[in-house]
Amino acid sequence: MKTKIAEFLADYIPSLSKEEIEQLIETPPTQDMGDLAFPCFRLAKSYHKAPAMIASELTQSMQKPEFISDIQAAGPYINFYLNRAEYAGNTLKKIVSADDYGHSDEGEGKTICMDYSSPNIAKNFHVGHLRTTIIGNSIYKIFSKLGYKVVRINHLGDWGTQFGKLIVAYKRWGSKEEVEKKGIQELMDLYVRFHEEAETDDTLNDEARAAFAEMEHGNEEYLKIWEWFKEISMKEFMRVYDMLDVQFDAFTGESFYRNMTPEILDMLRQDHLLVESEGALVVPLDEYDMPPCIVAKSDGSSIYATRDLAAVLYRKKTYDFTKCLYVTGLEQKLHFKQIFKVIELMGYDFASGLVHVPYGLVSLKSGKISSRKGNVIYAEDILNESINKTKTIISEKNPNLENKDQVAHDVGIGAIIFNDLYNQRIKDVTFDWDKLLNFDGETGPYVQYTHARAASVLRKAGYDEITKDDIRALVGKADFNVLTDDASIALIKELDRYPTVIKSAAEKYEPSVVARYSMDVAHAFNTFYRDNQVIVDDDKVKTARLALVAVTKEIIKDSLSLLGIHSPERM
Ligand code: ARG
């Protein structure tokens, strides 16, 4: 619409380009001020007149085009009133004629690598990892919708000195039975015990360092134990991924790069970037106001940064990405700044395609989240708690619901995801059960409930499982003069905006843009539904309103799916 009005205005305003005009066009605060407005302030200089005068003179000179029902000058603004029936018809027809509304070809032929989730072996999958998993999964879906090929990489924390410690602890105090019985919890306990004992016995640290060095040199016994720890951890992680319905294309963790690190050190040496400092090998970055990037310890063993450097080069070679995104907590900001800088200093211009996508902290508001031990919070416990609480709510609200368990699962998980994605990712997230499970609040369940409500209206009209063809047929038959009231038009405008929303979310790596949008559509739908009865005797009215309900339902479902949230048909 903006584009169309800009094209129309361009004939009357030769001093501005079509693009400049489009940029200036605004949406008025209320619909009675028109659907779109052009402010005349910018023209005052070249016209040597007051903006209000320009607005009124221009308006008088205009020949109203077909798609506009009225043009009015109001102070310094020119307000445009759409021909609502035509606008409604064009918009709904445009939406249903698309194979995948909101899809674009902007990403065609481009690959994006995404590094997210990446929990640490032998450590619990905590709420921070829940955030990177949820945010990463959503950004993956958003970019896929725009036609990008996205490679989902899980950079597991499965290598490093901590495994030397763990092996030492296991050999001293552990048992196969306990590890098998208690899983990750037992591995964490062993790790804690190591640190406690090492406080009084310093030889333990030496032993651990030596053990890790041996692992890097291929000690079979140690590697076997390590593999086993990894298997045990993966089993627990996979449970969380299954609950969230999250998948990966590669589980290439840090250990995957362990043999590539000598090569990285050689390259850095050849580029004259490597310096020895306090026994370690570093790339100095003081010129760029950063502490040095440490790439090897004094005993030559690799570290987190070395493996990240190897990973970038490997990914570039393997996937030829245009961008590689890293979704981690804000506390790793410096780490990635250093890595990206070193890659740039090595002469790779693809360094500009490396992007750190940070997020804020997680805190617990009211009530206690039951944790298994101490204050270690497992993501799995949170998800289960949310599902269970949802089950209770459903049992109260709708005890006869079919598929109660599946719905409780989708809604409980949806609530957690939505709570995570509703605010900008850099903001902290709070788990406040009363808030995030409030079916009337700004929550996932509210949006899901709106979708289920639309589905129920369609069922009443005989559409048990409405198909794309059904929706096309409804829109094809609809008389759009029925959809010209404020609430219908406000809803149609929301639906119209979906493709722009997806683009903007991708540009900012910001799922909250989509989450907010799904809430806007839900609100607009509920206002429409309050003002307009859908199942009425008048067939003409019924068909047009059903068409709008059906299209809305599909878009709510699609926008939720971009967040990684399922939309049950009944709730
Ligand atoms: N395993 C790390 C952690 O739990 C996150 C890894 C992020 N990815 C990376 N390429 N460094 O904090």
Q: For residues 507 and 510, give the distance between their C-alpha atoms in angstroms, rounded to a whole number.
A: 8
- In this prediction, residue 300 has a pLDDT band, given cuts at 50, 70 and 90, of confident
pLDDT of residue 507: 98
Reported residue count of the chain is 571
pLDDT over 70 at 370, yes or no: no
- In this prediction, residue 372 has a pLDDT band, given cuts at 50, 70 and 90, of low
**CA 170 – ligand 1 centroid, Å:** 24
* Most informative mutation of 304, 326, 332 for ligand 1 (most atoms within 8 A of CB): 332
Contacts of 130 (CB under 8 A, 6+ apart): 240, 362, 379, 382, 383, 416, 420
Protein residue with least CA distance to atom 6, ligand 1: 118
- In this prediction, residue 299 has a pLDDT band, given cuts at 50, 70 and 90, of confident
**Atom number in ligand 1 closest to CA 157:** 1
**CA 99 – ligand 1 centroid, Å:** 37
Say if ligand 1 is within 6 A of residue 328 CB: yes
- In this prediction, residue 369 has a pLDDT band, given cuts at 50, 70 and 90, of low
* Most informative mutation of 114, 117, 118 for ligand 1 (most atoms within 8 A of CB): 118
Residue 176 token pair: 């196969």
Please compute the mean of the pLDDT values over residues 207-235 and round it to a whole number. Answer: 96
What would the DSSP string read from start to end of 31-60? Answer: GGG-SEEEE-GGGHHHHTS-HHHHHHHHHH
Say if ligand 1 is within 6 A of residue 117 CB: no
**Atom number in ligand 1 closest to CA 326:** 8
* Most informative mutation of 113, 120, 155, 230 for ligand 1 (most atoms within 8 A of CB): 155
pLDDT over 60 at 368, yes or no: no
**Are 442 and 155 spatial neighbours (Cβ–Cβ below 8 Å)?**
no
CA triplet 196, 231, 216: central angle to 5 degrees? 65
Please compute the mean of the pLDDT values over residues 35-44 and round it to a whole number. Answer: 96
**What share of the chain has pLDDT > 70, as a percent?**
98
pLDDT of residue 377: 82
Q: Who wins on pLDDT, 271 or 371? A: 271
Helix axes 486-496, 512-531, angle to 10 degrees: 160
**Atom number in ligand 1 closest to CA 123:** 4
pLDDT of residue 402: 93
What would the DSSP string read from start to end of 415-450? Answer: HHHHHHHSS-TTS-EEE-HHHHT-TTSSSHHHHHHH
Protein residue with least CA distance to atom 8, ligand 1: 155
Say if ligand 1 is within 6 A of residue 158 CB: no
Reported as a single tens digit per residue, the pLDDT across 131-151 is 999 999 999 999 999 999 999
Reported as a single tens digit per residue, the pLDDT across 24-33 is 999 999 988 9
Please compute the mean of the pLDDT values over residues 321-346 and round it to a whole number. Answer: 98
Reported as a single tens digit per residue, the pLDDT across 444-481 is 999 999 999 999 999 999 999 999 999 999 999 999 99
Q: Who wins on pLDDT, 357 or 297? A: 357
pLDDT of residue 373: 54
**Atom number in ligand 1 closest to CA 335:** 11
**Atom number in ligand 1 closest to CA 156:** 1
Say if ligand 1 is within 6 A of residue 120 CB: yes
Please compute the mean of the pLDDT values over residues 416-434 and round it to a whole number. Answer: 95
pLDDT of residue 376: 72
64: three-class secondary structure by DSSP: coil
Say if ligand 1 is within 6 A of residue 543 CB: no
Please compute the mean of the pLDDT values over residues 527-554 and round it to a whole number. Answer: 98
Say if ligand 1 is within 6 A of residue 115 CB: yes
pLDDT of residue 374: 58
Give bridge partners of residue 120 from the DSSP assignment: 157
- In this prediction, residue 8 has a pLDDT band, given cuts at 50, 70 and 90, of very high
Please compute the mean of the pLDDT values over residues 520-544 and round it to a whole number. Answer: 98
Please name the residue ranges forming H helices in 498-538: 498-508, 512-531
